[in-house]
Structure 1
Amino acid sequence: MFSLVSRNLTSSMSKITSVHRLFRQCSSCSSPAASANSFTVSYLIKSCGFPPDKAISASKFLNIKSPDRPDSVIAFFKNQGFTETQISHLVRKFPVALTCNPETNLLPKFEFLSSIGLSDSDIVKLLTARPKALGRSLKNHIQPTLYLLKDLLQSNDRTLIAIRRCAWVLDKSFQAIVIPNMQLLRDVGMPGSKMLYVLTYHPRDISDNKEQFKKAVEEVVEMGFDPLKTNFMSAVHAIRSMSKSTWEKKMETYEKWAWSKAQILVAFMTNPWCMMKSDEKINKVMDYLVNKMEFEASIIANNSMLISLSMKKRIIPRCLVYQYCLDNGLIKGKNYSGLCWWLKSSENMFMKRLERYETKTPGVLKFYREKLDHSNSYSNLF
């Protein structure tokens, strides 16, 4: 016990010493610069909740001589509906915000975003996610970018959907990034209607730099994906989102469950999201379906959408009610094609199927609802 206390005390003293060392780094510089730097560090820690090391790092880009300007900025954000946590996050991501003039620099940007139809809560959420947008020129970047986005989408409603879905549109360059990527998609055969859908509902998917985006598109085309189909962009997203080593690790995970490379490619072609699930999720789904429900691994490979389904809300409760129906004679013999339908069908279609069984054996719906209610406890078992 004494040894444990001693170690904890030593660890705490070490942390305190590190903090003191960080402050000495500021105070060791010559005055008056050291004084200004020290005040900046102190302000960031006390007023913005910065850890000492982050405060010292941020102070390299700030020169706060008095609390007047940063206090006015923090007050402005509070008046706009930001919480203290959101303000702290925003300032950590973009410390220069504390030097902005609330009336001449910040307010016009908030007013413009409001004028195009964004609510106060929308603006808070967007700028918390993308604080650097506050450093962009309203006249030279934010306005022309959003006007261009509206011209491309040909609808104010679609423009607002795109902005809400991806805050990067406030500070990314459309001319340098989005337009070239859209041109590439057109070159490989994607119709305008599909590009319009992607830009509206998945704008992040075309936000990568053009070289990386081009490489991913070319790889997906080489695999045989059809640009006319929805899963084309899902595949591009999957390729872009992981390194080669991560991809190979996912391949190894599926191969451990006796999937061949050809089966993995077919599964990816059918449902690209299956390669974006964590190794833990893949193993949990495979273990439950193969070892609990006695699926053959090849059946899951041919129905790779199953990997993406929620264990708690879909797979476990539906498998349990399937077994209930089997035990009560509502289903004649286990049919894996039928069970795949049970798992993949929409909740509305699934409930209609259970309602038909309910007329024959009352209690099916109650059993299913009970399993849904207790799905968290069931999921912990598998």
Structure 2
Amino acid sequence: MSIFFRTLLLLRSPSSVFSHGFSESPLKSLTYLSTSSEIVSSPESASLASNAVQLENNGKAVIALLANHGFSQSQISYLANRYPQILSANPEKTLLPKLLFFQSKGLSSPEIFELVRSDPWVLGASINKRIIPAFDYIQAVLGSEEKTLATIKQFAGILSKDLRISVGPNIEILKQIGVPDSSILKYFPYQPRVFLTNSIRFKETVERVAEMGFNPQQTQFVVAVFALRSMTKSTWDKKVEILRKWGLSEEDIRLAFRRNPWCMRVSEDKINGAMDFFVNKMGCESSFAARRPVLLSFSLKKRILPRGYVYQVLLSKGLIKKNENLGLFFESPEKRFIEKYINPRKEQIPELLELYKQKLMESRR
């Protein structure tokens, strides 16, 4: 495992102090030091060599601690190479309490590794001032340890925040406008990061969603809040402008967003691709996308184009009418699509299923 110690000794000069409990590396200008027989020529180099030895010994202790708590060699190697700061953390005071806490909650070593991998700073957060209070707060909101664990697996960084200050006000904002607890409890575990938004900006988003005509009593209200918080206003404006260029009115766009808030989270290229296909290739009115906005979310290569090919074949054979149930044709789940549109035409077009599968394979290349 010499790679860890080489990582330790070859650390370049850091520009700032590591936060969240990880101390700054003492290796300010060191490029390489042998820890076996380095000849020291001055007090300064002696101190530098001593620091290097201490850092290496600390790294050994960290590696041993992680290994003793079920981390595999490859997992430790990953952390040491990608987050070398962890090797300078205090193994007994900084790391051990967190590992024991997560294990006490039933998390396996691979699950703990995933938490650390997704947000290594969680091991630097204070166990008593941050991690435990955050865990307890989430459990009080959600009502179960199981849901709490699901939440931190979704976003481990939430454990390093003061949730009474960051999350609490935003939950109250939703409640005050009439969002039921059931909606909050349903989406909090899946989008915990959204609840960490600055409360002023969060309230602005909630009010904006209300102005768009969403009913706070319906779950779509919270989904719309999440969708808007996932992008900047400039990004939203760019997507609106794209849809306008395709002929959608302001009301069309609002209708699309009300029906499927996630449709505005797709990339600008994806919006353009879907609109080009349905308007220019299929001959649909641009408002067609507003009535069925989920179509904007589908993969162009993996769903829209392969099914569009099947549609054109069926249309050319007179086996389907132009634009007949077009939305259902593209929205149907894969199994339902094959059962409804391909299998019934086996006699007329025996090779249709094979051609469709071929198009799907081409989309994966």
TM-score above 0.5, yes or no? yes
Deviation at 1:334, TM superposition (A): 0.7
User: Residues 4 and 81 of structure 2 are in contact (CA less than 8 Å); yes or no, is this contact kept in structure 1?
Assistant: no
- Structure having greater relative contact order (Cα 8 Å, sep ≥ 6): 2
Q: Residues 125 and 328 (structure 1 numbering): CA distance in 2 closer, same or farther, change over 3 Å?
A: same
Instruction: State the AA in 1 paired with 2:152.
Output: I
The reply to whether residue 195 of structure 1 matches residue 153 of structure 2 is no
Q: Distance in 1 between matches of 2:248 and 2:11?
A: 48
Q: Distance in 1 between matches of 2:10 and 2:312?
A: 54
Q: Residues 184 and 59 (structure 1 numbering): CA distance in 2 closer, same or farther, change over 3 Å?
A: closer
Secondary structure of 1:351's match? Answer: helix
Secondary structure of 1:200's match? Answer: coil
User: Residues 166 and 197 of structure 2 are in contact (CA less than 8 Å); yes or no, is this contact kept in structure 1?
Assistant: yes
Q: Residues 72 and 240 (structure 1 numbering): CA distance in 2 closer, same or farther, change over 3 Å?
A: same
In the TM superposition, what are the counterparts of 1:176-191 in structure 2 within 5 Å?
176-191=165-180
Q: Distance in 2 between matches of 1:49 and 1:356?
A: 64
Cα-to-partner distance string for 1:304-332 (whole Å, 9 max, x where unaligned): 1111111122111111112222233331x
Instruction: State the AA in 1 paired with 2:319.
Output: L
Instruction: State the AA in 2 paired with 1:340.
Output: G
Match of 1:265 in 2: 254
User: Residues 162 and 201 of structure 1 are in contact (CA less than 8 Å); yes or no, is this contact kept in structure 2?
Assistant: yes
Q: Residues 63 and 350 (structure 1 numbering): CA distance in 2 closer, same or farther, change over 3 Å?
A: closer
Q: Distance in 1 between matches of 2:273 and 2:297?
A: 11
Unaligned regions of 5+ residues in structure 2, if any?
Answer: 27-50
Q: Distance in 2 between matches of 1:131 and 1:49?
A: 21
Match of 2:15 in 1: 57
Instruction: State the AA in 2 paired with 1:253.
Output: I
Cα-to-partner distance string for 1:4-25 (whole Å, 9 max, x where unaligned): xxxxxxxxxxxxxxxxxxxxxx
Instruction: State the AA in 1 paired with 2:15.
Output: S
Q: Distance in 2 between matches of 1:44 and 1:254?
A: 52
User: Residues 78 and 84 of structure 1 are in contact (CA less than 8 Å); yes or no, is this contact kept in structure 2?
Assistant: no
Q: 1:364 aligns with which of 347, 352, 362?
A: 352
Match of 2:43 in 1: none
Q: Residues 236 and 59 (structure 1 numbering): CA distance in 2 closer, same or farther, change over 3 Å?
A: closer
Instruction: State the AA in 1 paired with 2:317.
Output: N
Unaligned regions of 5+ residues in structure 1, if any?
Answer: 1-42, 378-382
Q: 2:194 aligns with which of 183, 196, 205?
A: 205
Alignment root-mean-square deviation, CA:
2.6
Match of 2:362 in 1: 374
Q: Distance in 2 between matches of 1:116 and 1:316?
A: 47
Q: Distance in 1 between matches of 2:108 and 2:313?
A: 48
Q: Residues 50 and 247 (structure 1 numbering): CA distance in 2 closer, same or farther, change over 3 Å?
A: farther
Secondary structure of 1:334's match? Answer: coil
Instruction: State the AA in 2 paired with 1:57.
Output: S
In the TM superposition, what are the counterparts of 1:1-382 in structure 2 within 5 Å?
46-47=6-7, 52=12, 55-58=13-16, 62-64=24-26, 65-66=51-52, 67-77=56-66, 80-81=71-72, 82-91=75-84, 95=85, 97-331=86-320, 333-335=321-323, 338-354=325-341, 357-358=344-345, 360-361=347-348, 362-376=350-364
Q: Residues 275 and 49 (structure 1 numbering): CA distance in 2 closer, same or farther, change over 3 Å?
A: farther
Instruction: State the AA in 1 paired with 2:285.
Output: E
Q: Distance in 2 between matches of 1:150 and 1:98?
A: 32
The answer to which of 346-355 and 219-228 deviates more is: 346-355
Q: Distance in 2 between matches of 1:87 and 1:318?
A: 47
Q: Residues 89 and 49 (structure 1 numbering): CA distance in 2 closer, same or farther, change over 3 Å?
A: farther
Deviation at 1:286, TM superposition (A): 1.4
Q: Residues 50 and 68 (structure 1 numbering): CA distance in 2 closer, same or farther, change over 3 Å?
A: closer
Instruction: State the AA in 2 paired with 1:85.
Output: Y
Q: Distance in 2 between matches of 1:285 and 1:49?
A: 52
Deviation at 1:58, TM superposition (A): 4.3
Q: Residues 168 and 257 (structure 1 numbering): CA distance in 2 closer, same or farther, change over 3 Å?
A: same
Q: Residues 59 and 160 (structure 1 numbering): CA distance in 2 closer, same or farther, change over 3 Å?
A: closer
Secondary structure of 1:251's match? Answer: helix
User: Residues 121 and 157 of structure 2 are in contact (CA less than 8 Å); yes or no, is this contact kept in structure 1?
Assistant: no
Instruction: State the AA in 1 paired with 2:289.
Output: I
More helix by share: 1
Cα-to-partner distance string for 1:13-41 (whole Å, 9 max, x where unaligned): xxxxxxxxxxxxxxxxxxxxxxxxxxxxx
Q: Distance in 2 between matches of 1:364 and 1:228?
A: 46
Secondary structure of 2:215's match? Answer: coil
Q: Distance in 1 between matches of 2:326 and 2:338?
A: 15
Q: Distance in 1 between matches of 2:128 and 2:315?
A: 66
* TM-score normalized with structure 2 length: 0.81
Cα-to-partner distance string for 1:214-233 (whole Å, 9 max, x where unaligned): 11111111111122333322
Instruction: State the AA in 2 paired with 1:374.
Output: E
User: Residues 354 and 365 of structure 1 are in contact (CA less than 8 Å); yes or no, is this contact kept in structure 2?
Assistant: no
User: Residues 89 and 128 of structure 1 are in contact (CA less than 8 Å); yes or no, is this contact kept in structure 2?
Assistant: no
User: Residues 181 and 206 of structure 1 are in contact (CA less than 8 Å); yes or no, is this contact kept in structure 2?
Assistant: yes
* TM-score normalized with structure 1 length: 0.77
Instruction: State the AA in 2 paired with 1:345.
Output: S
Secondary structure of 1:57's match? Answer: coil
Deviation at 1:120, TM superposition (A): 1.6
Cα-to-partner distance string for 1:157-193 (whole Å, 9 max, x where unaligned): 2222112111122212221122211111111111111
